[in-house]
């Protein structure tokens, strides 16, 4: 009997969380009430309050539950490029997979929702970043560190390199989605962004072939050499 009661409890909680996620994403935090969530879940408002003390607690559950999906992304990143013979091709494939995952419409709507509530609930936004995007960056940094150790990359700061790689990848499509609300990107566009990000990243961080000087890029963190001043002109007396 206890097992049946526990199963019913879990089922009700799952329905409430699913209903809350759909309602928050559709109406935003301020535009969602506990009555709305109860109606969507087909349960009473009293049942919702039995599972969650208030709307904020339910919102946190909805947001942080999505970080479980990150495990698959982290695993994908960790396994990438282990035996790559063509680093640019391997980076392009990784970039395409990452971009396809992170540009899912539901993921973009959730990102906007977390951003719009960040001032009100900074702890929820911080936890979502650390448990989600932060883990992806850490996995990328670990992989770039390995590639640097193998002489395939020159990344003095692998975590900074991970930020640069993801920045190159997401800047165009994510900003467009955040500002316009248009969550649709064609496969061709995403592949083009991914391939361009991989090429640009390698121009900054790719290791020079053995025996050849660094082809135009410098080690991260070093300052460019100042140009030597031109010698003063001399004039002859008439």
Q: Give residue limits of the domains in the chain.
A: 2-52, 69-205
Fold of 69-205: Tetracycline Repressor; domain 2 (1.10.357)
Mean pLDDT of 61-86: 83
Non-local CB neighbours of 169 within 8 Å, separated by 6+ positions: 95, 98, 99, 193, 194, 197
Would you give the DSSP letter of residue 206?
B
Who wins on pLDDT, 201 or 5?
201
pLDDT in tens, 190-223: 999 999 999 999 999 998 765 444 544 444 444 4
pLDDT > 70? residue 1:
no
Non-local CB neighbours of 145 within 8 Å, separated by 6+ positions: 155, 158
How far apart, in whole angstroms, are the C-alpha atoms of residue 160 and residue 192?
23
**Stated pTM of the model:** 0.78
Would you give the DSSP letter of residue 211?
T
CA distances from 238 to 50, 57, 235 (A): 101, 89, 9
Mean per-residue pLDDT of the chain: 86
* Percent of the chain scoring above 70 in pLDDT: 85
How far apart, in whole angstroms, are the C-alpha atoms of residue 112 and residue 132?
15
Taking CB atoms within 8 Å and a gap of at least 24, the contacts of 180-186 are: 183/103, 183/105, 183/108, 183/109, 184/105, 185/103
Fold of 2-52: Arc Repressor Mutant, subunit A (1.10.10)
């Amino acid at each position: 009997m206890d097992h049946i009661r526990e199963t019913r409890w879990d089922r009700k909680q799952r329905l409430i969380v699913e209903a809350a996620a759909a309602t928050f994403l559709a109406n935003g935090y301020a535009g969602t009430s506990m009555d709305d969530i109860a109606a969507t879940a087909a349960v009473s408002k009293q049942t919702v309050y039995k599972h969650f003390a208030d709307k904020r607690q339910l919102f946190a559950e909805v947001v942080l539950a999505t970080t479980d999906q990150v495990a698959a992304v982290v695993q994908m990143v960790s396994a990438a490029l282990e035996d790559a013979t063509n680093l640019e091709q391997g980076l392009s494939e990784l970039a395409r997979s990452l971009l396809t995952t992170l540009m899912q419409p539901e993921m973009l709507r959730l990102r906007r929702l977390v951003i719009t509530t960040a001032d009100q609930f900074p702890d929820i936004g911080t936890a979502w970043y650390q448990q989600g995007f932060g883990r992806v960056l850490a996995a990328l940094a670990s992989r770039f560190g390995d590639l640097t150790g193998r002489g395939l990359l020159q990344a003095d700061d692998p975590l900074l390199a991970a930020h640069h790689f993801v920045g190159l990848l997401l800047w165009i499509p994510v900003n467009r989605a955040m500002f316009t609300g248009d969550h649709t990107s064609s496969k061709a566009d995403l592949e083009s962004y991914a391939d361009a990000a991989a090429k640009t990243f390698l121009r900054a961080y790719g290791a020079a072939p053995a025996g050849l000087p660094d082809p135009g890029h410098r080690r991260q963190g070093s300052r460019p050499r100042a140009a030597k001043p031109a010698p003063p002109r001399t004039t002859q007396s008439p």
